[in-house]
């Protein structure tokens, strides 16, 4: 089945590549913060956004694979830059747009992280699937034309939190007693460098690597702390990873001068929204909008969950992921911080496909 899906996606890509007005597109590698449906197609995955109330404020209000009530940060940034939204690699639908999202919930830099989830795509696996897509396209349209297309595309890599939250910070996994905090950050950064060099060898020349936010302040981490506050150790690990990744990308820029490696440090942006919610129009930044009554942590949002009265006032949708409103604030702040510009040949901002109205109904009436 996976092979037939890949053939359909590649057929669409080939048709679009051969058009003279083909636009700049994105290939996104990540985790649940940018998953747009891959995990929903994995029959044995335990991490899916396939049940209500995921997607309630997006399109027809039904679950679509995004781990939020609405759009992801990648959706919003791409829309504002006039870039087509890349469909999920495993989605069965025939898309008229371009690019691909390889992102997978519980995706991680380290392949062995989150092994308890049975099925998910680690970053190495995402790159492997991307390479398979490249091979099919090259065989169809020729190496030179395919190389030009892939070299002109944009690449986004955004993951790493699962390596810490669902691996290193859990004492049941060997990494927690094998490494020191500094040692694990160094190991993870070196692994990421090897993966980015793989993408470079596959033709990626414009890469944006996003760092980690204050992962110690997500609702899951707060509810597991004795005080209900942010977990300082988790946040320090995020800062350390961001610092090491910045240095690593600077070294890669020197090593590969024909490529652009940019680091998107979103830590301060997300931290400001969490610490100053009222400034950004929110009234809650420490609890999930979708929860199972007073039972915490509620690891996922399900039909039996209760929703907050006003979803636009909550920073977090579930124990892990931001709401559509928070993602929009974060995306806008990132665009300003990094000075993102629309690529040549794009018409922006592009309209999000079938977005639901801002005042989508609540299941509570």
Kindly tell me the sign of the dihedral angle through the C-alpha atoms of 154, 263, 330, 170: positive
Distances (CA, A) of 339 to 66, 77, 280, 333, 334: 26, 12, 20, 10, 8
Question: pLDDT digit string (tens) for 224-251?
Answer: 998 999 999 999 999 999 999 999 999 9
Checking DSSP bridges between strand 290-291 and strand 306-307, what pairing results, if any?
A: antiparallel
Distances (CA, A) of 282 to 32, 228, 317, 328: 23, 19, 12, 12
Cβ atoms of residues 85 and 97 within 8 Å: yes
Ordered by where they begin, the domains of the chain are: 2-282+323-338 (3.40.50.1110)
Q: What is the pTM of this model?
A: 0.89
| Token couple for 228 | 């209900």
Active site residue 318: yes
Question: pLDDT digit string (tens) for 133-149?
Answer: 899 889 888 999 999 99
Kindly tell me the sign of the dihedral angle through the C-alpha atoms of 160, 161, 167, 169: positive
Helices (H), the chain: 2-17, 73-80, 123-141, 143-152, 161-163, 175-178, 181-201, 219-223, 232-255, 267-275, 324-338
Q: Which residues contact 61 (CB under 8 A, 6 or more apart)?
A: 55, 356, 360
Helix (H, G, I), strand (E, B) or coil at 220: helix
CA 253, CA 247: separation in Å to the nearest integer?
10
Which of 142, 204, 195 is CA-nearest to residue 17?
142
Query: Which of these is catalytic: 31, 75, 318, 324?
Result: 318
Active site residue 32: yes
Residue 288: pLDDT over 80: yes
Question: pLDDT digit string (tens) for 334-365?
Answer: 999 999 888 855 655 444 444 443 334 444 43
pLDDT at residue 362, rounded to an integer? 42
Query: Which of these is catalytic: 104, 285, 312, 321?
Result: 321
Least confident interval from 79-93, 129-143, 151-165, 192-206: 79-93
- For the chain, give the percent of residues with pLDDT over 70: 85
Name residue 284's beta-bridge partners: 314
Residue 298: pLDDT over 70: yes
Banded model confidence at residue 129, pLDDT cuts 50, 70, 90: very high
pLDDT at residue 10, rounded to an integer? 54
Which of 216, 74, 218 is CA-nearest to residue 157?
74
Active site residue 122: no
- Output 134 or 325, whichever has higher pLDDT: 325
- Output 97 or 68, whichever has higher pLDDT: 68
**Angle, vertex CA 299, rays to CA 293 and CA 300, nearest 5:** 80
Distances (CA, A) of 113 to 75, 123, 180, 181, 258: 26, 11, 17, 16, 33
| Token couple for 305 | 């969950």
Query: Which of these is catalytic: 31, 32, 45, 75?
Result: 32
| Token couple for 349 | 């901002």
pLDDT at residue 343, rounded to an integer? 81
Banded model confidence at residue 161, pLDDT cuts 50, 70, 90: very high
Question: pLDDT digit string (tens) for 92-123?
Answer: 544 334 789 999 999 999 987 665 556 889 99
């Amino acid at each position: 089945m996976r092979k037939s899906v890949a053939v359909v996606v590649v057929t669409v890509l080939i048709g679009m590549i051969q058009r003279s007005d083909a636009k700049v597109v994105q290939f996104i590698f990540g985790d649940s913060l940018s998953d747009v449906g891959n995990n929903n197609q994995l029959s044995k995955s335990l991490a899916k956004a396939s049940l209500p109330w995921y997607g309630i404020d997006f399109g027809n209000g039904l679950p679509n694979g995004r781990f939020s009530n609405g759009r992801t940060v990648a959706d919003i940034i791409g829309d504002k830059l006039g870039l087509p939204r890349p469909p999920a690699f495993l989605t069965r639908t025939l898309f008229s747009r371009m690019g691909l999202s390889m992102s997978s919930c519980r995706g991680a830099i380290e392949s062995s992280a989150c092994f308890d989830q049975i099925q998910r795509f680690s970053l190495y696996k995402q790159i492997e699937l991307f390479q398979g897509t490249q091979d099919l396209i090259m065989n169809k349209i020729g190496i030179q034309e395919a190389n030009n297309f892939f070299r002109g595309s944009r690449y986004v890599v955004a993951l790493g939190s699962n390596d810490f939250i669902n691996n290193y910070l859990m004492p049941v996994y060997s990494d927690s007693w094998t490494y020191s905090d500094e040692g694990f950050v160094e190991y993870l950064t070196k692994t990421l460098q090897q993966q980015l060099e793989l993408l470079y060898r596959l033709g990626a020349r414009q890469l944006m690597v996003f760092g980690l936010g204050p992962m110690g302040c997500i609702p899951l981490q707060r509810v597991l702390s004795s005080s209900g506050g942010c977990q300082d150790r988790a946040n320090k690990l995020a800062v350390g990873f961001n610092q090491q990744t910045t240095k690593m990308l600077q070294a890669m820029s020197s090593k590969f001068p024909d490529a652009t490696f940019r680091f998107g440090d979103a830590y301060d942006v997300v931290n400001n929204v969490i610490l100053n919610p009222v400034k950004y129009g929110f009234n809650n930044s420490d609890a999930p909008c979708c929860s199972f009554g007073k039972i915490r942590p509620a690891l996922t949002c399900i039909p039996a969950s209760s929703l907050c009265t006003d979803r636009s006032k909550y920073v977090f949708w579930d124990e892990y992921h931001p709401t559509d409103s928070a993602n929009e604030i974060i995306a806008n702040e990132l665009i300003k911080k990094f000075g993102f510009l629309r690529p040549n040949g794009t018409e922006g901002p592009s309209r999000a496909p079938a977005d639901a109205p801002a005042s989508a109904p609540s299941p509570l009436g």
